[in-house]
Chains A and B, each alone.
Chain A
């Protein structure tokens, strides 16, 4: 199996089409004095759209992205896009980083140098990693399989990518959001290859299988999760039950798409009421542009759909029960201060061989983008034990 090199090159016609749409945006009104309470704030979205039209430079961003070595490989009849950056250090540890929704491979953009050249950031070459960052199937430049339920096969694609395509027999893995679920599956199904995993959340699927003997702090955690879901989970429900109904519009209206994605970067990050405390306009727009240009909004909803369909609940009910305490692969956890939920350690210990448990003082759900240095330090510290 081999991979071929790839460069991002969005056609000029797509760019001018986008500009035309932005220019003729028909803005809705907004309820008085509600800030972001009713969803993405109108005046901020107008500001961002104005920037998108008049200042943002996609080609400059594209050039920057193309400085990374991009590849595509055909695995299981799916075209998988990934970045592969080798460290100069001969004993670098291979690591695969898995993103979620509504981010992309860009989630790890800032983390890369900390991992490949630790010596440039006050570390030592013995902490170096060879970094592999794939786009999930149906995201950015990776294609989606035809069969429903393909979400539950991604970890197998990753194992093939690492061992067969890139020749790494032993490697480690890190992920957040969907990335943490996929990373968990990878450890469970391919423990012969995976030396350790590191996650920034406990995959939420486990909360569908509540134990009969919850501790007090677990009970509290379940209540928090329930409240969180009532308030924040509607996007996941609509993406899981009616992906086309929503995606038809987000594929036609760039401000519609920007609003839908931006809300998550606002509510889930440690931005303290100003999204630009955590991300620049360029960072926000490059991620949004990737979804827009690659027309991957519908396919990016498939993990949600697959979880609610394809007998996923049966699958979760049966498999997860078998998994309880069954994995010996060492697992490290780092929780950013404003992560969506903060489960107790004993909850994670039901499903993982927990070897490291850290709460970080800053950052949110997109911690790898918000606080790359903190995360890099966690990854170094934790994976030292499996080198």
Chain B
């Protein structure tokens, strides 16, 4: 017999207090600009000119209340599950068939990663098969409007998050079967869910194989795989320092990021710039970039979000020896970190049943190319039998 726990699901409206906004205005007005090594360009990291323009837009033009209103058009909820008060969006599909899907973001994005794709999944333009999705988008533990209620669990933190989210989908929302999609940190999290609950997860869709696959025995790599791994290593040396800091000394970095809006914007913009299928202005509007940054700033979750890198390094959930048996779809974007991996490389750790290489798009897949990704997800998940 199953024990029934009564979950108290509460409707939630995003409403940042005025005091937070006025404090932010003050900080933005008081910005002490760095004396840059070079006044323009991205050679030394964030372009000082771009950053200054961006901060001035934040201060003078950006309208958080308007963005908040837009975010609140979705149905938001909170519910206590284990040691978290989870925030999530829950939007039901409009079609005869509604596949429950959990969408998992990464860093430095947020639930906002899926802002554009949600309606494309709940109410797709192409209704020919009448398949739609019941979409659930949580703020992951440590991120956004999800709050930790107790001392944070430090044992395999990602596995713990997976268990909390599994309970959200099954116990709280009552779905007996569901699928998951995610990228960046959302990919290994989706894989963990699939490994731990293969009877409930029918399929997963990921946009990268996850960092842990880098741990494969290098001596067994094919020529093509070796080339990919070497390219990745080289890119990591040029681009990976943020991850090194976040997985060794995240707390040291957190002080400036939580105290200075310029610090936070600079740290996050750097990733959006280098990981998009640029130029950055073409991939994201300033309003979009700022809305995401505001989620970190107003919830003061930058410290916990970057700390996750180290926590997962100290007590890893997945290694390259883990294997995902449930059918897995891969949607791969050319400007994602390290480029598109060889299929045999990905097949080492997941049961690849669907493989799409897109012609454009970068790391923030669902945000940058929502139409491409929505159509591909629909194509893959309609082949899965429930």
The distance in angstroms between the C-alpha atoms of A373 and B237, with both chains bound, is: 40
**A246: interface (CB < 8 Å):** yes
Binds B, one of A85-93, A233-241, A341-349: A233-241
Chain B 35-66, CB within 8 Å of chain A: the 1/0 string? 11100000011111001000000000000000
CB pair A40–B44 under 8 Å, yes or no, is no
Given the complex, which residues of B lie within 8 Å of A232, measured CB to CB?
Answer: 248
Most chain A CB within 10 A, of B23, B45, B51, is at B45
Of all chain B residues, the one with the shortest Cβ separation from A18 is: B32
Residues A29 and B260 in contact in the complex (CB < 8 Å), given A249-B266, A251-B32: no
Residues A243 and B152 in contact in the complex (CB < 8 Å), given A238-B245, A253-B256: no
17 A-B pairs with CB atoms under 8 Å apart are A20-B30, A28-B259, A28-B303, A38-B249, A38-B250, A39-B252, A39-B254, A234-B247, A237-B240, A240-B241, A245-B45, A248-B34, A248-B51, A251-B34, A252-B263, A253-B260, A256-B259
**B195: interface (CB < 8 Å):** no
Given the complex, which residues of A lie within 8 Å of B202, measured CB to CB?
Answer: none
Binds B, one of A191-199, A207-215, A257-265, A323-331: A257-265
CB pair B252–A263 under 8 Å, yes or no, is yes
CB pair A241–B250 under 8 Å, yes or no, is no
**A187: interface (CB < 8 Å):** no
Q: How many A-B residue pairs lie within 8 Å, measured between CB atoms?
A: 189
The distance in angstroms between the C-alpha atoms of A316 and B270, with both chains bound, is: 29
Residues A234 and B255 in contact in the complex (CB < 8 Å), given A32-B151, A248-B34, A296-B35: no
Interchain nearest-CB distance for A257 vs B (Å): 7
Interchain nearest-CB distance for A302 vs B (Å): 6
**A298: interface (CB < 8 Å):** yes
The majority secondary structure among interface residues of chain A is: helix
CB pair B33–A28 under 8 Å, yes or no, is no
Partner of B303, one of A17, A29, A250: A29
CB pair A39–B266 under 8 Å, yes or no, is no
Given the complex, which residues of B lie within 8 Å of A252, measured CB to CB?
Answer: 31-34, 256, 260, 262-263
Of all chain A residues, the one with the shortest Cβ separation from B255 is: A259
CB pair B244–A238 under 8 Å, yes or no, is yes
CB pair B266–A248 under 8 Å, yes or no, is yes
Chain A 41-82, CB within 8 Å of chain B: the 1/0 string? 110010000000000000000000000000000000000000
**A387: interface (CB < 8 Å):** no
Given A244-B37, A263-B252, 11 further pairs, Cβ under 8 A = A26-B23, A231-B248, A234-B241, A237-B241, A237-B245, A242-B241, A246-B266, A246-B267, A248-B46, A255-B259, A263-B249
**B229: interface (CB < 8 Å):** no
Binds A, one of B127-135, B304-312, B322-330, B370-378: B304-312
Which residues of chain B in 311-336 are interfacial with respect to chain A, using CB atoms and an 8 Å cutoff?
A: 311
CB pair A298–B36 under 8 Å, yes or no, is yes
The distance in angstroms between the C-alpha atoms of A115 and B46, with both chains bound, is: 44
Residues A245 and B267 in contact in the complex (CB < 8 Å), given A28-B300, A144-B37: yes
Given the complex, which residues of B lie within 8 Å of A41, measured CB to CB?
Answer: 251
CB pair B242–A28 under 8 Å, yes or no, is no
**A305: interface (CB < 8 Å):** yes
Given the complex, which residues of A lie within 8 Å of B307, measured CB to CB?
Answer: 31, 38
**B154: interface (CB < 8 Å):** yes
Residues A260 and B252 in contact in the complex (CB < 8 Å), given A241-B239, A248-B51, A253-B263: yes
| Chain B interface (Cβ < 8 Å from any Cβ of A) | 23, 26-27, 30-37, 44-48, 51, 151-152, 154, 237-242, 244-245, 247-260, 262-264, 266-267, 270, 300, 302-304, 307, 310-311
Residues A30 and B303 in contact in the complex (CB < 8 Å), given A39-B249, A45-B255, A263-B249: yes
Given the complex, which residues of B lie within 8 Å of A32, measured CB to CB?
Answer: 151-152
Interchain nearest-CB distance for B308 vs A (Å): 10
Partner of A39, one of B44, B48, B251, B258: B251
- State the 9 A-B residue pairs at the shortest beta-carbon distance, nearest first: A249-B263, A256-B256, A39-B251, A39-B252, A245-B45, A242-B45, A234-B244, A28-B303, A237-B241
Most chain B CB within 10 A, of A40, A246, A250, A297, is at A246
Given the complex, which residues of B lie within 8 Å of A256, measured CB to CB?
Answer: 255-257, 259-260, 263
Given the complex, which residues of A lie within 8 Å of B270, measured CB to CB?
Answer: 242, 245
Interchain nearest-CB distance for B233 vs A (Å): 13
The distance in angstroms between the C-alpha atoms of A248 and B300, with both chains bound, is: 19
Interchain nearest-CB distance for A151 vs B (Å): 12
The distance in angstroms between the C-alpha atoms of A237 and B23, with both chains bound, is: 33
The distance in angstroms between the C-alpha atoms of A17 and B27, with both chains bound, is: 12
Partner of B35, one of A26, A39, A251, A260: A251
Partner of A38, one of B51, B237, B262, B310: B310
The distance in angstroms between the C-alpha atoms of A42 and B245, with both chains bound, is: 17
Partner of B45, one of A29, A39, A243: A243
CB pair B34–A298 under 8 Å, yes or no, is yes
The distance in angstroms between the C-alpha atoms of A263 and B252, with both chains bound, is: 7
Given the complex, which residues of A lie within 8 Å of B48, measured CB to CB?
Answer: 244, 248
CB pair B242–A238 under 8 Å, yes or no, is yes
Interchain nearest-CB distance for A332 vs B (Å): 33
The distance in angstroms between the C-alpha atoms of A260 and B250, with both chains bound, is: 11
Which residues of chain A in 1-55 are interfacial with respect to chain B, using CB atoms and an 8 Å cutoff?
A: 17, 20-21, 24-32, 34, 38-42, 45
CB pair B251–A42 under 8 Å, yes or no, is yes
**A116: interface (CB < 8 Å):** no
Of all chain A residues, the one with the shortest Cβ separation from B150 is: A32
